[in-house]
């Protein structure tokens, strides 16, 4: 990578806490949603006042804001859409992520100062589609998850040079074609294409024969019955190849995931992008960071052809660390004030995650509460804890407990 071609690192921001973590840990841009028209209805999201604050906060830190407008609106939703788009234009949003041609045309009219990015929901899999969208005003296409690395190279060669390409590099994958699934709607009445997916692809399925109700017969595939459950995507070791293929923005999935996920994964990919820019291999300590967050078994998706692979034995997530506390303040000598997230005690061997240092061990020898009283443990959620850290670190640094692998 050169500085000119260095891809943007785009991180998820489901609410204000996750937004601040993504910004602090190195995102070049974040994507988030208002309370309507976004594909993650269950995320915290942002009301109008919160959107204004979020955009101002990000711009003050040199971070761009992409607002998702990627549902497929019904007729009754259209009357409110022009005013919403105009508001985003006035607030200074940098881009709108759009999946619908009608919304795209309205955005050109009512948000003329905001870039249009075509959502992965649109299913861009060819240079013809990208070029057509470019002529309609799109500045960027978020490629369908199903395209391979070789296809990306060909798309890049045959599309307008000044149109950008964005691709997912990490996070959950949908068993359907870029989210165009009706299974959730059919089984639960919750429409995946309107941001309400119940994720029935992660359920355990059995057969029931009609004359024997209540008798369940397993459907097995490679030793399990979770026959629709996808693996998660992880391309942290392949960013140089993606950049060389023509990707302008590396997108991390996860607006509904935790603030810790936003911090740790953004941090890991920030280091990965920077090492790739210098032409250096990623140190293993940063590759290990993506194992620390909650995830299903990883794969490289469709990038290298073939199938990304399913995980049939279970749909549960694993993680190698649990958050204990988040730093609120820290003096130059490393005396820190933290807020508790999970119980930890004197004698625990913990691990400190910061944006400027390698993750490092922390031995808890003593700690005090908000009144200065010595305490043996921190059992209460969000309680204030005072603790000596190995070095001075910034607010939003994270203290965690590593899990022992079996």
Q: What is the pTM of this model?
A: 0.89
Report the largest interatomic distance among the alpha carbons of the chain, rounded to a whole angstrom. 73
Q: What is the pLDDT along the chain (406 residues), one digit of tens a residue?
A: 544 568 999 999 999 999 999 999 999 999 999 988 876 655 578 999 999 999 999 999 999 999 999 888 889 999 999 999 999 999 999 999 999 999 999 999 999 999 999 999 899 999 999 999 999 999 999 999 889 999 999 999 999 999 999 999 999 887 766 556 777 776 787 776 666 777 777 777 777 877 888 887 777 656 666 667 778 899 999 999 999 999 999 999 998 899 999 999 999 999 999 999 998 999 999 999 999 999 888 989 889 987 665 565 666 678 899 999 999 999 999 999 999 999 999 999 999 999 999 999 999 999 999 999 999 999 999 999 999 999 999 999 999 999 876 5
Q: How buried is 325 (Cβ within 10 angstroms: 0-12 exposed, 13-18 middle, 19+ buried)?
A: buried
The neighbour count for residue 83, using CB atoms within 10 Å, is: 10
* C-alpha closest to that of 168 among 152, 192, 191, 184: 152
Residue with tokens 């699934």: 181
Residues 6+ apart with CB under 8 A from 181: 174, 175, 192, 193, 197, 201
Q: Are 30 and 279 in contact (CB under 8 A)?
A: no
Q: Are 373 and 352 in contact (CB under 8 A)?
A: no
């Amino acid at each position: 990578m050169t500085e000119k071609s260095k891809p943007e690192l785009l991180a998820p921001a489901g609410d204000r806490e996750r937004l601040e973590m993504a910004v602090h840990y190195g995102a070049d841009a974040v994507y988030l949603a208002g309370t309507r028209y976004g594909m993650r209805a269950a995320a915290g999201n942002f009301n109008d006042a919160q959107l204004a604050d979020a955009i101002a906060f990000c711009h003050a830190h040199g971070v761009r804001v992409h607002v998702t407008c990627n549902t497929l609106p019904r007729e009754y939703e259209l009357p409110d859409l022009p005013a919403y788009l105009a508001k985003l234009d006035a607030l200074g949003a940098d881009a709108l992520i759009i999946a619908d041609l009608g919304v795209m045309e309205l955005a050109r009219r009512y948000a003329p100062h905001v870039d249009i990015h075509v959502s992965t929901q649109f299913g861009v899999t060819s240079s013809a589609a990208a070029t057509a969208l470019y002529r309609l005003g799109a500045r960027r296409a978020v490629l369908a998850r199903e395209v391979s690395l070789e296809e990306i190279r060909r798309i890049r060669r045959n599309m307008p040079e000044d149109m950008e390409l964005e691709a997912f590099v990490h996070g959950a994958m949908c068993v359907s074609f870029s989210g165009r699934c009706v299974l959730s709607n059919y089984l639960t009445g919750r429409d995946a294409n309107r941001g309400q997916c119940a994720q029935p692809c992660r359920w355990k399925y059995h057969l029931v024969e009609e004359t024997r109700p209540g008798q369940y017969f397993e459907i097995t595939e490679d030793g399990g019955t979770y026959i629709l459950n996808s693996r998660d995507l992880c391309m942290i070791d392949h960013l140089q190849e993606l950049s060389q293929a023509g990707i302008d923005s590396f997108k991390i999935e996860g607006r509904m995931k935790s603030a810790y996920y936003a911090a740790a994964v953004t941090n890991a990919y920030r280091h990965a992008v920077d090492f790739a820019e210098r032409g250096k291999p990623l140190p293993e300590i940063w590759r290990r960071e993506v194992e620390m967050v909650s995830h299903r078994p990883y794969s490289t998706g469709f990038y290298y052809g073939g199938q990304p692979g399913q995980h049939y034995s279970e749909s549960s997530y694993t993680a190698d660390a649990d958050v204990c506390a988040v730093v609120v303040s820290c003096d130059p000598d490393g005396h820190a004030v933290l807020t508790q997230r999970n119980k930890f005690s004197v004698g625990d061997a913990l691990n400190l995650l910061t944006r400027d240092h390698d993750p490092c061990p922390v031995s808890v020898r003593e700690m005090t509460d908000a009144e200065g009283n010595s305490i043996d443990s921190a059992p209460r959620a969000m309680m204030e804890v005072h603790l000596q850290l190995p070095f001075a670190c910034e607010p939003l640094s994270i203290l965690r407990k590593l899990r022992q692998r079996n």
